[in-house]
Amino acid sequence: MSISAIKNQEIKALKTEPTQLILIISFLIACLYAVVQGAAYRHQQTDMTTTFIAEQNKSIEVWRDRLVAVDNGTTTEADDRWAGLAMDVSFPAVAAPGPLSDLSHGVSDVRPHTGRLSLWRSVDRLFGNYQVQSPIDTAAGSFDLAFVIIFVMPLLMIALSYDALSDDKELGRLGLVLSQPISVRLLVLTRLRVRFMAIAVILAVALAIGLVSGATDNGGISERLPYFTIWFLIATSYFLMWAAVITWAISLKLRGETTALLLAGIWIVNCLAGPASLSATAESLYPTPSRLAFLSEAREASNSAYKSKADIMQGMLFDHPDLTADNYSIPEYIRTAFLVTRTVDQSVAPVLNRFDEVQAERRDFLSIFQYASPAALTLQAFNLSAGTNLERHLRFERSVRDFKQMIAEEVERNVLVGQRLTLTEYDNLPRYQNNEWSIGQVIEKTAAPIAFLLIIASLLGTIALKNLGRLQTRILEP
């Protein structure tokens, strides 16, 4: 029996064996569903952010037009005393959907990616209105391509290949097969190559479709390609790792049933028990401050500031006598609102910083212990390259808060003196820009996980090849 005969036999089995066929077709459907669903998700996210920006800009334009009218004398200040009111300055802040959010949803479904910066809102309310999504949906998690690759793919690889050697042994035909001019190593590797290739081809097709279908006007194929290449490398490394694990398990020459159990056990520890234990440990070791306590803190600060607004105002004017206005024509409550909001911002800042610190501590913990579960490692790397990781979202939220602080400082004088902004002053105000990681930074952060998966694959692959070599000698020994 030659290599090509084995190969042909395997291909024929894949095409005709009902169980294998059902498994492969199911995998194909799962991949395509994940890709189509993912593309719809990304398009929806893009539409949402585009609509949000458009709506915000529309009201900002109306506001600016009134300012222009006063500035060029079309309207008198008396006719529109609210035109150019510094307190009403408002800007949209958006984190565009991650470049590959269709392939790996990450935390993009539970963290805000739009915020309306307004001086009327304290920082704890910048992202308030986004929590109407279905809890059933959120709890179940996403059926994206990352899920299919991390969960489904290894199981399919196991189901298709666990008996690559044991079947011959259990049916008593191994000796007969090896009487042909072929080694055990070559026999097993040829069989596995064909079986794994079927999965790899389906994945490659799904990924190619995903690359195209997830592209949007704001993130076309060319913008996605560098991130996609990294994502593809991670997927390939994970695939190779599983291929090596399975080859190693087969090389132990256990009974088919035991090989299947061993591999299922590895899958469960890697995909379920490992990540669950890791997340529980990280969250127990580094608990976040209480959200409810944070809410109480913000309300208490707001109430205290409201009650002592006269003192706050006095304090401000004592520090900045230059801000005393004699002809203040803007209602008092606007100045009060500005100062109250600022006081709340200052009060909750330490708690918000603590939230960020805890997340950083958890990140540090997981950056080490994630290697205990390649599935967790792969998921984090997928999310990172897809732009849907927690760190990116936290960075966005922090930058919006900082931006609000910056705008408040810029217009503070105008608000307190009750002086409208001029058009030049308004146009010179900075606009929000979300600073994304460069592709170089993404490569830097995903290099270690990819290398780790490849090292595991190489190590186990080498051991498996040695085992298979030794097996040849043992089987042929009289």
Partner 1 sequence: MIKAILWKELLQYRRDGRIVAVLFITLTLGIAAALNSWSSVQNMQRERLAAIKTDRTIWDNQGKKNPHTAAHFSRYAFQPTSSLSVFDPGLGDYMGSAIWLEAHYRDPATLRNIEDAVEIQRFARLTPAWILQVFAPLLAILLAFAGIASERERGTLRQVMSSGVSPKQLFLGKGIAALCVVALLAPSVVAAVVLSVSTHDEIELPSADVRLFGIVASYAIYIAAFTFAAIGISARVSKSKTALIALVGFWAVAVIFMPRLATDIGSNISPAPQAAEFSAKLSSESSSPFWGGSDEAIARREQIEADVLRQYGVDTIEDLPINYDGYLLQESEEFANGVFDRIYDELWGAYETQADIVRVFSIVSPTIALGNISSALAGSDLHAHRHFADSAEMFRRDFVRLLNEEMIEQGGKDGYAYMADNDFWQQNPDFDYQPPTLSDVVSKIWMDMVILLLWAFIAYQLAFRGVRHSFKQEAMA
Residue ranges in 414-473 that form contacts with partner 1 under rule CB under 8 A: none
- Specify whether the CB–CB gap between 414 and 86 falls below 8 A: yes
Cα-to-chain-centroid distance, residue 74: 50
Count of residues touching partner 1 (by CB under 8 A): 86
Q: Cβ of residue 473: shortest distance to partner 1, in angstroms?
A: 26
**Of 106, 115, 387, 418, the one binding partner 1 by CB under 8 A:** 106
For strand 90-94 and strand 114-118, is the pairing parallel, antiparallel, or unpaired? antiparallel
**Of 220, 265, 315, 430, the one binding partner 1 by CB under 8 A:** 265
* Closer residue to partner 1 (CB): 336 or 422: 336
Which of the stretches 181-189, 212-220, 277-285, 324-332 binds partner 1 when contact is defined by CB under 8 A?
277-285
- Specify whether the CB–CB gap between 421 and 204 falls below 8 A: no
- Token pair for residue 171? 């049916």
383 binds partner 1, rule: CB under 8 A: yes
290 binds partner 1, rule: CB under 8 A: yes
* Closer residue to partner 1 (CB): 363 or 470: 363
300 binds partner 1, rule: CB under 8 A: yes
- Token pair for residue 455? 């090292």
Compose the 65-84 pattern: x for residues touching partner 1 by CB under 8 A, - for all others. --------------------
Nearest to 305 by CA among 353, 350, 348: 348
* Closer residue to partner 1 (CB): 378 or 414: 378
Touching partner 1, residues 118-177 (CB under 8 A): 128-143, 147, 151-152, 155, 159, 162-163, 170
- Specify whether the CB–CB gap between 417 and 263 falls below 8 A: no
Which of the stretches 46-54, 90-98, 421-429, 470-478 binds partner 1 when contact is defined by CB under 8 A?
46-54
Angle in degrees, 0-180, between the axes of helices 274-285 and 374-386, rounded to the nearest 10: 70
285 binds partner 1, rule: CB under 8 A: no
295 binds partner 1, rule: CB under 8 A: yes
**Of 164, 198, 282, 408, the one binding partner 1 by CB under 8 A:** 282
**Of 21, 201, 208, 268, the one binding partner 1 by CB under 8 A:** 268
Touching partner 1, residues 302-331 (CB under 8 A): 302-303, 306-307
* Closer residue to partner 1 (CB): 281 or 346: 281
- Specify whether the CB–CB gap between 431 and 91 falls below 8 A: yes
62 binds partner 1, rule: CB under 8 A: no
Please spell the DSSP secondary structure of 392-446, one letter per residue: HHHHHHHHHHHHHHHHHHHHHHHHHHTPPPPHHHHHHS------PPPHHHHHHHH
SS3 of 102-168: CCCCCCCCCCCCEEEEECCCCHHHCCCCCCCCCHHHHHHCCCCHHHHHHHHHHHHHHHHHCCCCHHH
Nearest to 213 by CA among 52, 340, 356, 36: 36
CB-neighbour burial class of residue 444 (10 A; exposed 0-12, middle 13-18, buried 19+):
exposed
Q: Cβ of residue 466: shortest distance to partner 1, in angstroms?
A: 25
251 binds partner 1, rule: CB under 8 A: no
Q: Cβ of residue 150: shortest distance to partner 1, in angstroms?
A: 8
